[in-house]
Amino acid sequence: MSSQKSSLMSIERVLIDGQWRVSSGSQVFQSINPATRAPLPREYPVSDWAEVERAILAAAQVSRELQNAPGERFASFLERFAERIDARAGEFIATANQETGLPVEPRLKIAELPRTTNQLRQAAAAARDGGWSLPTIDTKNNIRSRLAAIGPVVVFGPNNFPFAFNSAAGGDFAAAVAAGNPVIAKGHSSHPSTTRLFAEEAFEAVRESGLPPAFVQLIYRTSHADGCRLVSHPSIGASGYTGARETGLVLKEAADRAGKPIYLELSSINPICVLPGAVAERSDELAAEFTTSCLMGTGQFCTNPGLVLLLASSQTESFMSAVRAKFEGAPIGTMLSAGVLRNFESGIQSLIAAGAEVLTGGQAGGGSGFSYRNTLLKVSGDKFLLSPHALQTEAFGNSSLFVIAKDEAQMLAILAELEGNLTGAIYSAKDGQDDALYSRIEPVLRVRVGRLINDKMPTGVAVSPAMNHGGPFPATGHPGFTAVGIPASMRRFSMLQCYDSVRQHRLPPELQDKNPRPGLWRSIDGQCSQADLG
């Protein structure tokens, strides 16, 4: 909740135009420790429009200064930033634990913080190499093109990954910087202190690497109206947003009206099809694997398996009973915030209203702080097909919905009603008995998910050049892009620049006849080559 400013001495500063400044906004807010439900002591400002626009104009000036800057400049910053994070790791982990309730080990210390610095270093390598820009040369017509920085990028971070998707250090930040863009980080209200720490280290890394001081800026919160003005401002190049569907679509509408690219990660239930042969072959193993995946992090992952499609049988009933027992015996985790708990309760009630039956859970409480009992629901295929949209409501947390098809034809009909998702998984028998059914359902599922998975749960996203962390709407705002996987994720924050009959010395180095870097691949007259021209 926001409130009026109390004392300037107690309010954290914003990072605007190369300086940590007292905010001109009149409202403040505090984050809440979700494990205790108690407010944390620091107050953070809600920036007014004058402050937001000052950040935009400063970023635009930096963007002009860095036009055609070599990738080495951005690589040096990213590497130094990663080093500084590593040196302050203990403080990052303790702060994020307080603000999110996520466990120190293995989540924050072993998994997420190392992944974050690894992303920064991967982005640095891609910036230095330059191949991400796809330099293309047509010698006959003397036309050359490349991808290059699009301009200032706004990054909106989510609540569930305080490190790896943080607006001032996460995947979108790394991709935007590696592509040569200054970043305005819009922090998440659930973990402002964690984001402030990242901005402090980024600011020092900017100074040490010789980039303009306003290369990285930070605001913590704006009004909804000012958020729309921000993403649609003429001087903004693009925006990246990870969060709730409703808010993301409001921002998209504003950006679309102004013709500004915005890349959204919104909502996904990540369907899993468990075929009959797999259930018969390894039911207990699947029950344990599914429970671990679904309840990990209290289910607060964008790739959490929220819908399981099965064929009706006695073996399916036994499988569901085994999962139910494991859910009831598993610890009940802490949710990220009061808002997450409130939205989760609403999602569960929407599923019940649409015809889902509660197998276990379905009530708030049972754990520390903001918590809700591990919840399993079930619905028949007939009922699902009567209300397919309502029964795909995302309940972001420790729950999942079993959908029981009466036959293979109904399973296909259910798959055909699925909305776009980040992932979709199919479990099949190892001896091949499910292969015929797999070949029928895979084409239907394939076009509804960004990442197709076999015999593996979806929770977790590898930081790999081949990864697609994207998918059809409503998983994202555009099915052609990924938020994870360098260099592909960098291309969201770029524009295609074409040079027609431009003299050699006026061309960017990677488009000149002489290849500027050993190992840089260029497309020359339709052939990939590392050679010089002429």
Residue 431 CB neighbour total at 10 angstroms: 9
**Rounded to 5 degrees, what are φ and ψ at 3?**
-150, 170
Helix (H, G, I), strand (E, B) or coil at 172: helix
Residue 100 CB neighbour total at 10 angstroms: 29
Tokens, residue 288: 């344990």
Q: Which residues contact 440 (CB under 8 A, 6 or more apart)?
A: 408, 412
Q: Which of 427, 396, 245, 413 is nearest to 306 (CA)?
A: 396
The length of the chain is 534
Chain centroid to CA 223: how far? 22
- Annotated catalytic residue 200: no
Helices (H) and strands (E) in the chain, counts: 14, 24
DSSP-assigned beta bridge partners for residue 310 = 404
Catalytic residue among 43, 51, 79, 265: 265
Q: Which of 170, 236, 248, 149 is nearest to 491 (CA)?
A: 149
Q: Which of 249, 293, 290 is nearest to 267 (CA)?
A: 249
**Rounded to 5 degrees, what are φ and ψ at 70?**
-65, 150
Task: Mark 386-398 as b/e (b = at least 16 C-beta within 10 Å).
Answer: ebbeebbbbbbbb
Instruction: State the alpha helices, DSSP H only, in 179-307.
Output: 192-209, 224-231, 245-257, 276-295
Cβ 116 vs Cβ 163: under 8 Å: yes
Tokens, residue 261: 């690219």
- Annotated catalytic residue 302: yes
Cα–Cα distance for residue pair 382/338, rounded to 1 Å: 35
Q: Which of 480, 293, 289 is nearest to 398 (CA)?
A: 293
Q: Which of 291, 372, 358 is nearest to 325 (CA)?
A: 291
CA distances from 497 to 150, 260, 384, 396, 490 (A): 10, 17, 48, 40, 15
Through-space distance between the first and last CA atoms of the chain, rounded to whole angstroms? 65
Tokens, residue 63: 């963007």
Provide the pairing of β-strand 375-380 with 357-360: antiparallel
Chain centroid to CA 420: how far? 16
Catalytic residue among 228, 273, 294, 302: 302
Provide the pairing of β-strand 399-405 with 307-311: parallel
Provide the pairing of β-strand 271-274 with 421-427: parallel
**Which residues carry out catalysis?**
265, 302
